[in-house]
Amino acid sequence: MMLRIKRVPTVVSNFQKEEAEEDSRHAGGCGRNCFRNCCLPGAKLPMYTFKNVNKIEGEKKSVVSENKEHPVAFLDSLLLGEWEDRMQRGLFRYDVTACETKVIPGQYGFIAQLNEGRHLKKRPTEFRVDKVLQPFDENKFNFTKVGQEEVLFQFEPSTDNEVKFFPNAPIDIENSPSVVAINVSPIEYGHVLLIPRILECLPQRIDRESFLLALYMAAEAGNPYFRLGYNSLGAFATINHLHFQAYYLAVQFPIEKAPTRKITTTSGGVKICDILNYPVRGLVFEGGNTLEELSNVISDSCICLQDNNIPYNVLIADSGKRIFLLPQCYAEKQALGEVSSELLDTQVNPAVWEISGHMVLKRKEDYEEASEENAWRLLAEVSLSEERLHEVKDLLFEAISCSMEEDKGVTQNILEESDVSPQSLEDVDALKGSHPAIMSV
């Protein structure tokens, strides 16, 4: 039995139409200035290339050379400027800054927004929610079908280790660039989509390269209030074409305030913690000797979840220095009829932003009556149980230590709970450095 739910999906592009219509249009030429072969050759877009030198943080930092003032970073400025430009050109379905928003009083400060225009009023479509990995389907909407005016710039690693900006760079069709596009139904100001290697039409699934790209974007923007998010299929991704979302909101997200408890630190210096006192259970990753170390531990974790058909969301916060990984089960519960109608009526689909504590509400009464208890109750339905999370963590830690073995190519002492013995005490001295070891819980 295939699990499905009915949903009114959010329109993210001005060219997103009914799937049925798409089929008939696809055959002919286009004239819509889209991102496919009919319109792309010869097209140009601004390009931002970032420095992809791994920052070696373990070494002594030269503090004096640090940029003194921390002004608005260039990428930040570029993104905001391009977004405001599209705003003034009328490309968005509504002005999100005209939507009322507030922080709900309470311990955590959940954020509520009244947005009646976000979800398109059309007949609901059916989404399959029981498979995290599904093959890319050309016939469904994907980002090559957006108009070029919705794409803000190309985002690529630089070839010569310098940050560069090209106002008018050709689009290399052979080596598909990664691009940043607007979301025409924005949740907040600056809501964009990061689409890795757009022309390769990758399905919605994380791989090491794409996740690293997302982390670089967060780091380049250098703004702790510019966060990236990812929803797997089955965790309320709307489009099966690999993408991350991002937007600006200069307040703390509730999930960022939750206390954490360290589980372990990998040999690459990545600290992994449990999230405590929060309705949704999950893991937090920070640190890492390099950005790449941090990225790989997380993407390997995501791949493990994908391979085990566990839907999940990822929040990249603190300019790429803190990442939250949240396995969830809400869609499955919904399909099995296990969610109360009261919660279903709010039509809040708990994707990464909602789980992080930012709720967009469609009905005025939901907005007026929004409370920390309501938010907590909804999110508690999303979370995996303690036992289930424990199982998932076992899977993850096994996957991570396996990958690290492959990476390092060095014999490791992996301290399992059952293997603690006086012998391994010698490793205590050498934990950081030559004897990489990981303690599993």
Catalytic residues: 243
User: What 3-state DSSP class applies to 120?
Assistant: coil
Which tokens in the block code for residue 302? Answer: 């995501």
Q: In the complex, what is the shortest distance from the CB of residue 323 to other proteins, in angstroms, rounded to a whole number?
A: 10
Residues 6 or more apart from 368 whose CB is under 8 A from it? none
CA distances from 226 to 220, 304, 357, 383 (A): 10, 27, 15, 25
Nearer to other proteins, 167 or 337 (CB): 167
In whole angstroms, what separates CA 82 from the centre of its chain? 21
Nearer to other proteins, 108 or 236 (CB): 108
Which tokens in the block code for residue 60? Answer: 């002594």
Q: In the complex, what is the shortest distance from the CB of residue 143 to other proteins, in angstroms, rounded to a whole number?
A: 23
Nearer to other proteins, 190 or 350 (CB): 190
Nearer to other proteins, 171 or 239 (CB): 171
Q: In the complex, what is the shortest distance from the CB of residue 50 to other proteins, in angstroms, rounded to a whole number?
A: 13
Which tokens in the block code for residue 67? Answer: 């940029």
Nearer to other proteins, 101 or 240 (CB): 101
The span from the CA of 333 to the CA of 129, in Å, is 10
Q: In the complex, what is the shortest distance from the CB of residue 59 to other proteins, in angstroms, rounded to a whole number?
A: 8
Nearer to other proteins, 220 or 274 (CB): 274
Which tokens in the block code for residue 184? Answer: 């025409």
Q: In the complex, what is the shortest distance from the CB of residue 358 to other proteins, in angstroms, rounded to a whole number?
A: 11
CA distances from 213 to 31, 156, 233, 251 (A): 31, 8, 20, 25
Nearer to other proteins, 411 or 418 (CB): 418
The span from the CA of 332 to the CA of 234, in Å, is 8
Q: In the complex, what is the shortest distance from the CB of residue 256 to other proteins, in angstroms, rounded to a whole number?
A: 6
Q: In the complex, what is the shortest distance from the CB of residue 98 to other proteins, in angstroms, rounded to a whole number?
A: 5
The span from the CA of 348 to the CA of 367, in Å, is 12
User: What 3-state DSSP class applies to 399?
Assistant: helix
The answer to whether residues 13 and 184 touch, using CB atoms and an 8 Å cutoff, is yes
Which tokens in the block code for residue 407? Answer: 């990476």
Q: β-strands 125-128, 244-248: how paired?
A: unpaired
Q: Which of 7, 3, 5 is nearest to 348 (CA)?
A: 7
The answer to whether residues 86 and 92 touch, using CB atoms and an 8 Å cutoff, is yes
In degrees rounded to 5, what are phi and psi of residue 438?
A: -135, 130
CA-based angle 12:16:20, to the nearest 5?
A: 140
The span from the CA of 74 to the CA of 96, in Å, is 24
Q: Which of 351, 373, 348, 349 is nearest to 361 (CA)?
A: 348
Q: Find tokens 């997380």 and name the residue.
A: 298
- Beta-carbon count within 10 A of 402 CB: 13
Nearer to other proteins, 85 or 342 (CB): 85
